[in-house]
Amino acid sequence: MLRFLPLLLSLILSSLSAFAATDNKIIIGQSVELSGQATGRENMLGAQLYFNRINAQGGIYGRQIELISYDDQRDPRKTKENTLKLINESHALALFGYRSTPTVEAILPLLEKNKIPLIAPFSGAQSLYKPLHPYVFNLRASYQEEAAKMVESLATLQINKVAILHQDDTFGKDGLAGFEKNLAARQLKPAVIAEYSRKDLNVAAAVASIAAANPQAVLMACTPNACADFIKKMRASGHSPQFMMLSNVNSEEFFASLGKDGRGIGVMQVTPSPNNVGVTVVHEFQRALKTANHPPPATDAVEEGFIAAKLLAEGLRRAGANPSAEKLVAALEAMHDVDLGGVLVNYSASNHDGSHFVELSIVGQNGRLIR
């Protein structure tokens, strides 16, 4: 028996070491599209950039933040599977940075059932804002707020003949409702409304109907691939209205895919320009990029992920040395007028809409955004 004692002690110490390593981590779970459109990957890379920075400084109360990200391919069923795995197997303290309106909506019942918060979903869908969901903490402005700013910009340009393109799902219909509401407030009606299917992203019929109306501008609530295809087909047909899109398209891949066809398009933004180093959080973001071993591109999508991760880290600090999902929810709801470095965040028990920052950017000749 004694000869087995060293082996037994070794196994016990190994087990204790494993539990200690687990105790020394804060597990954060994410389900997002990683194998398709680039925006989700860029959001995730920006978040990881911030978490790496915090971990290098010792983490939160000595605990390292571990972000576990699973690919859901924008499939709500896959999102549910990933979420249950993150909750039941990874024992995530919180969920973070989910993307795409239908996939986020699919897991809302799981949040309430498991009493686990979702921090900073990368969706501005109204279904995540009203009515208030007790376990969803939005960071970005809503699509409705983006639509209001978009229509305001058209009024400044004295554009009054407008078409609308939208996807045939809750995201697209949310954008449509925002466009129609804000146009109506200015006594305007869309010249034509066209939709396309989320299943095949075929915009050919929409191109034909909108081109026939010959609008001055097209307000667009579409996924990046569909938006890019629509713009190219419209320009190829000899029509070049002012194309204006919601912030969901933001990614380096999207702008690169458009090439010269992207010149002059308008895209809404929900974070400060990643080039405006006069803003504290942007300066912090740029410094993190310079010190990273494999830095992601300095895009709005990457920066949004970085800022969202900073929000989560601040919530964890306020939750104390032994955080739980319940403590994190309470800590976030107590964050009033918190400055993340040029991005002001406000939460309460009756309000989970963190920021209302919205501005318009235009793609210049070099494919870069101008604000």
Residues 44 and 59 placed together within one structural domain of the fold: yes
Q: Is residue 35 part of a domain?
A: yes
Q: Is residue 124 part of a domain?
A: yes
pLDDT tens, 218-255?
A: 999 999 999 999 999 999 999 999 999 999 998 888 88
CB proximity list for 51: less than 8 A, separation 6 or greater: 28, 65, 67, 309, 313
How many structural domains is the chain composed of? 2
- At 37 the pLDDT is 65
Q: Is the pLDDT of residue 8 over 90?
A: no
Q: What is the DSSP letter of 138?
A: B
Q: Is the pLDDT of residue 159 over 50?
A: yes
H-helix segments, 32-169: 38-56, 76-88, 101-114, 143-156
Q: Is the pLDDT of residue 10 over 70?
A: no
Residues 198 and 156 placed together within one structural domain of the fold: yes
Tokens of 256: 């690169």
- At 80 the pLDDT is 98
Residues 263 and 286 placed together within one structural domain of the fold: no
- At 339 the pLDDT is 97
CB proximity list for 58: less than 8 A, separation 6 or greater: none
Residues 30 and 132 placed together within one structural domain of the fold: yes
Give me the chain's average pLDDT, please: 91
Residues 230 and 252 placed together within one structural domain of the fold: yes
Residues 167 and 262 placed together within one structural domain of the fold: yes
Residues 180 and 287 placed together within one structural domain of the fold: no
Q: Is residue 161 part of a domain?
A: yes
Q: Is residue 54 part of a domain?
A: yes
Q: Is the pLDDT of residue 83 over 80?
A: yes
pTM of this prediction exceeds 0.75: yes
CB proximity list for 306: less than 8 A, separation 6 or greater: 46, 47, 49, 50, 281, 285, 288
Of the residues 269, 296, 326, the one at which a domain ends = 269
Q: Is the pLDDT of residue 369 over 90?
A: no
Domain with 295, as residue range(s), is 22-141+278-345
Q: Is 364 helix (H, G, I), strand (E, B) or coil?
A: coil
pLDDT tens, 279-329?
A: 999 999 999 999 999 999 999 999 999 999 999 999 999 999 999 999 999
- At 365 the pLDDT is 75
Residues 169 and 244 placed together within one structural domain of the fold: yes
Q: Is the pLDDT of residue 17 over 70?
A: no
Q: Is the pLDDT of residue 165 over 50?
A: yes
Least confident interval from 17-26, 115-124, 221-230, 275-284: 17-26
Confidence of residue 364 (pLDDT cuts 50, 70, 90): confident
Q: Is 94 helix (H, G, I), strand (E, B) or coil?
A: strand
- At 36 the pLDDT is 67
Residues 152 and 236 placed together within one structural domain of the fold: yes
- At 148 the pLDDT is 96
Q: Is residue 367 part of a domain?
A: no
Higher pLDDT, 20 or 150: 150
Q: Is the pLDDT of residue 352 over 70?
A: yes
Which whole number is the average pLDDT over 13-39? 68
Residues 31 and 176 placed together within one structural domain of the fold: no
Give the DSSP H or E segment for 314: helix 300-319
Residues 154 and 250 placed together within one structural domain of the fold: yes
CA nearest to 74, candidates 108, 28, 43, 31: 31
Q: Is residue 371 part of a domain?
A: no
In CATH, what number is assigned to the domain containing residue 186?
3.40.50.2300
Q: Is the pLDDT of residue 132 over 60?
A: yes
Q: Is residue 353 part of a domain?
A: no
Confidence of residue 4 (pLDDT cuts 50, 70, 90): very low
